[in-house]
Copies of this chain bind each other. A is one copy, B any other.
Amino acid sequence: MIRQMAPNMALDQRVAERQAAGEFIVHLGFGEARLPVFEPLVQRLAAGAGRNGYGSVAGDLAARSALAGYFTRRRLPTDPGQVIIGPGSKALLFGLQVVLPGDIVLPAPCWNTYPPQARLAGKSVIPVPIPAEYGGVPDPESLDDALRAARRAGRDPRILLLSLPDNPTGTVAEPEAVRRLCEIASRENLWIISDEIYRDMLHSPLTEFLSPAELLPERTVVTTGLSKNLALGGWRIGGVRFPCGNHGSRLRDDLVAVASETWSALAQPMQEVAAYAFAEPPEIREYMAAGARLHGAVAGAVHRLTVAAGATCRPPTGGFYIYPDFEPVRAELALRGVTDSASLQHELLESHGVAVLGGHHQGDDPAALRFRAATSLLYGSTDEERAESLAAPDPLALPHIKGVLAALEERLAGLIPRR
């Protein structure tokens, strides 16, 4: 059983209440792409409003065909029969944990929702630390040892979950690491779940992206959604791609069974949106590219601020997060009573008005001085400002972004007493 609301969602609700009460909080605590809804999506939703039948559990053929095309354009040739559309990739990831047997290997730190989903599905979690260079994947060096130790302890690791690019570190694993992990997964007969919801948000077109589904197609399940790349978190549209062949199709049928008894189907008007968006007409591709540019620029700026404040931090390469480590200033922070990630999160919010999600919420060592900063809520306080941010060739030059970054800089400086 789980007894607590997801800490990111709980934090967001608390911050929203305090902001509504007039407090100025630099909100880095929630991974929502806060951008205006792209107008053609509104039109598709309205166009789908007449559809009130329950529809197909796996999703309409039009939506599934579009999603199959989305994957096919990403070097993953896909038939519409290989995919399921659902109400958000969170629900699909939960369903996958229910239908895939065995225990699950998670990178540490990782998105705060994977471990409670594992608990709900009756699984043990085998955490394996991420490498120094990027997150979202266990360090390949450590994975073999961790699997052996888990088996000695009576666990049954059968699933390896990767997030590419990663929440919480905002980085994408190098192809070589993905290759080595796939070799281990193949040898150890692990299923891979590859959470690729941030895939369309690489900051540089030069960054190489390799999906494990390219290397281990028969054992890799890929999840995605429109919450991040199209800023549609509140519309709850996700998708999953199964391997072709018998194993994949059995797994797909199992997930359809769970879906039919839990969420039925993605709402029909949203299927209309999915059919349009996953087909990626030019205007959608432009919107996605503009988003990726903006996320990269602001994540990069926040990265520089935390490093300037004394942290070490992996440079962000995808998505809209950074994951700084304030270990270098542990002594100074101790003077404030800050000795671990919980007290760091608390001090930042209560004394400095900066909301972040401590590493302890994300499977990291609670004694470490690490947190996730989501940089995607800094694009303005009105839809107009946010639209301007999205359109700007240099968003860091915009007064409203400059302003919030200056406030953050000042607040971080206030956190660390002068050395």
A32: min CB distance to chain B, Å: 6
Q: Contact check, B50 vs A117: say whether CB atoms are below 8 A apart.
A: no
A36–B265 Cα gap in the complex (Å)?
19
Q: How many copies does the complex hold?
A: 2
Within 8 Å by CB of A49, from B46, B51, B256, lies: B46
Q: Contacts A5-B256, A261-B94 hold; do A56 and B13 have CB atoms under 8 A apart? A: yes
Q: Contact check, A57 vs B9: say whether CB atoms are below 8 A apart.
A: yes
Within 8 Å by CB of A2, from B13, B261, B270, lies: B261
Q: Contact check, B257 vs A3: say whether CB atoms are below 8 A apart.
A: yes
Residues of chain B within 8 A (CB-CB) of A256 are 5
Q: Contact check, A98 vs B122: say whether CB atoms are below 8 A apart.
A: no
Q: Contact check, B258 vs A53: say whether CB atoms are below 8 A apart.
A: no
Q: Does A234 contact B (CB under 8 A)?
A: yes
Within 8 Å by CB of A258, from B2, B42, B52, B268, lies: B2
Q: Does A260 contact B (CB under 8 A)?
A: yes
Q: Contact check, A234 vs B45: say whether CB atoms are below 8 A apart.
A: no
Q: Does A290 contact B (CB under 8 A)?
A: no
Q: Contact check, B5 vs A54: say whether CB atoms are below 8 A apart.
A: no
Q: Contact check, A264 vs B235: say whether CB atoms are below 8 A apart.
A: no
Count how many chain A residues have C-beta atoms less than 8 Å from C-beta atoms of the other chain.
64
Q: Does A363 contact B (CB under 8 A)?
A: no
Residue picked from A10, A12, A264, most chain B C-beta under 10 Å: A264
A52–B50 Cα gap in the complex (Å)?
21
Within 8 Å by CB of A57, from B5, B260, B263, lies: B5
Q: Does A177 contact B (CB under 8 A)?
A: no
Residues of chain B within 8 A (CB-CB) of A253 are 3, 5
Q: Does A147 contact B (CB under 8 A)?
A: no
Within 8 Å by CB of A50, from B3, B37, B264, B265, lies: B37
Q: How does the 8 Å CB contact mask read for A251-285 relative to B, with 1 for contact and 0 for none?
A: 00110111011111111111000000000000000
A34: min CB distance to chain B, Å: 7
Q: Does A241 contact B (CB under 8 A)?
A: no
| Chain A stretch 229-245: residues in CB contact (< 8 A) with chain B | 231-236
Q: Does A116 contact B (CB under 8 A)?
A: yes
A32–B9 Cα gap in the complex (Å)?
34
Q: Does A88 contact B (CB under 8 A)?
A: yes
Nearest B residue to A90 via CB reads B264
Q: Contact check, B113 vs A234: say whether CB atoms are below 8 A apart.
A: no
Q: Contact check, A37 vs B57: say whether CB atoms are below 8 A apart.
A: no
Q: Contacts A236-B263, A270-B267 hold; do A46 and B52 have CB atoms under 8 A apart? A: no
Q: Contact check, B236 vs A12: say whether CB atoms are below 8 A apart.
A: no
Q: Does A337 contact B (CB under 8 A)?
A: no
Nearest B residue to A258 via CB reads B2
Residues of chain B within 8 A (CB-CB) of A41 are 49
Q: Contact check, B57 vs A267: say whether CB atoms are below 8 A apart.
A: no
Residues of chain B within 8 A (CB-CB) of A233 are 52-54, 264
A210: min CB distance to chain B, Å: 29
A185–B122 Cα gap in the complex (Å)?
29
Q: Contact check, B261 vs A55: say whether CB atoms are below 8 A apart.
A: no
A13–B57 Cα gap in the complex (Å)?
9
List the 3 closest pairs (A to B, CB-CB), nearest first: A234-B268, A6-B260, A42-B49
User: Can you show 25 pairs from A to B with CB atoms below 8 A apart?
Assistant: A2-B261, A3-B253, A6-B57, A9-B54, A9-B264, A10-B260, A12-B54, A34-B53, A36-B50, A41-B49, A45-B46, A45-B269, A51-B234, A52-B231, A54-B233, A90-B261, A91-B264, A98-B120, A113-B261, A116-B261, A233-B264, A235-B268, A236-B264, A236-B267, A269-B269
Interface residues of A (CB under 8 A from B): 1-6, 9-10, 12-13, 30, 32, 34-37, 41-42, 45-46, 49-57, 87-88, 90-91, 94, 98-99, 113, 116-117, 120, 122, 231-236, 253-254, 256-258, 260-270, 383
